[in-house]
Amino acid sequence: MNNILPWQQKNWEQLQQQLNLQRVPHALLLHGPEGTGKGLFASIFAQRLLCTTPQEDGFSCGSCPSCKLFAAATHPDLISLKPDEGKSILAVDQVREMVREFAFTPQISARKVVILQPAESMNNSAANSLLKTLEEPPGEAVLMLISHAPARLLPTIRSRCQQRAFPSPDRTQSLQWLQQKLEQGMSEEAVLQLAEGAPLKALALANPEQIQHHQQMGEELINLLSGRADPIRVAIRWSDKKLDPSITLEWLQQWTTQIIKGDTQSPLLNSLASKLQPVDHKQLFLFYDKLTAAIALSHTPVNKELLFEGILLDWSRFR
């Protein structure tokens, strides 16, 4: 089915030509900035590769048994590999298990397909377990690695894949696309800025309450670090029923990660990072782990206010 994003047309056509010539690369590395749709692209291509009655326009049919299993996320010939929830590293056992499973003949489709993302989540031993499979995939199998940071991959991984660049769409393209997707009255400019230019990320953030909450959260976190806000009061606001507690915690975790990495280009992260400068990185890692636990708890019937209070009191101690 045709859901290819407008800025990915060229990449799609190129693969389509290779498919027509029966020369699809066995190992593909799709790389480019996060939030621009590489995962979506890989998924559409995987469905096409698995579909048993593809349409003439080059897309999957959407109705064959393979497409139905694909839609239900239970396709036996598709292996999706990513780090376990809350983890940033892909365990070597996950890769080994995939390699084993991958060697079996496909059950429904003409080939097996693997989507592994993000490829930079593999440590050296995981990457090494993958090398041989990348070199000689069984049958018509296709492995797609997705990476937001290809420079962090082992050169031996990169060199065994055909690389495809997925640059960010230009601003005009992103704004046009967002305009079609957003509800009336929302500013595509504002959400695109919130998502630092990545349109899919922008869409995920795009609802007026979330945008307002996101901005307010930033201010509150800064104010807590300068003693101008009260963690208890902030916790009460954050536990407001209209806000999804896991999104709030995930945002905070995302910011913590960026601060640890020194990736602090936006004005908000910049001010947070400068206030947190005297704080030991070890403490930030501990805080990150607490957030992981809190995110898991936020899906249970836990008292949200108390959950946020704990996190915000910890945050205030960074003062």
* Residue (11 or 60) nearer to Zn ion, CB: 60
- Spatial strand order of the sheet with 142-147 comes to 78-81, 113-116, 142-147, 27-31, 162-165
At 127, list the tokens: 């990457």
* Residue (63 or 270) nearer to Zn ion, CB: 63
Q: 148 to each of 37, 38, 95, 223, 230, how far by Cα in Å?
A: 11, 9, 19, 32, 37
Cα dihedral: 264, 41, 137, 145 (round 10): 0
Answer for which of 42, 44, 51, 113 binds Zn ion (CB under 5 A) is 51
* Residue (51 or 191) nearer to Zn ion, CB: 51
Answer for which of 11, 36, 43, 60 binds Zn ion (CB under 5 A) is 60
- What distance in Å separates the CA atoms of residue 51 and residue 54, rounded to the nearest whole number? 6
- What distance in Å separates the CA atoms of residue 49 and residue 59, rounded to the nearest whole number? 9
Answer for which of 19, 64, 186, 190 binds Zn ion (CB under 5 A) is 64
Stretch that binds Zn ion, among 57-65, 98-106, 232-240, 245-253 (CB under 5 A): 57-65
**Min CB(108)–Zn ion separation in Å:** 10
- What distance in Å separates the CA atoms of residue 308 and residue 248, rounded to the nearest whole number? 10
What is the per-residue binding string for Zn ion in 65-104, x denoting contact by CB under 5 A?
A: --x-------------------------------------
Spatial contact of 98 and 79, defined as CB atoms under 8 Å apart: yes
Tell me the site size for Zn ion, rule CB under 5 A. Answer: 5
Answer for which of 61, 110, 182, 296 binds Zn ion (CB under 5 A) is 61
Stretch that binds Zn ion, among 10-18, 59-67, 164-172, 214-222 (CB under 5 A): 59-67
- The answer to the question of residue 186 lying near Zn ion (CB under 5 A) is no
- What distance in Å separates the CA atoms of residue 119 and residue 152, rounded to the nearest whole number? 9
By three-state DSSP, how is residue 318 classified? coil
* Residue (64 or 279) nearer to Zn ion, CB: 64
Residues of this chain that bind Zn ion (CB under 5 A): 51, 60-61, 64, 67
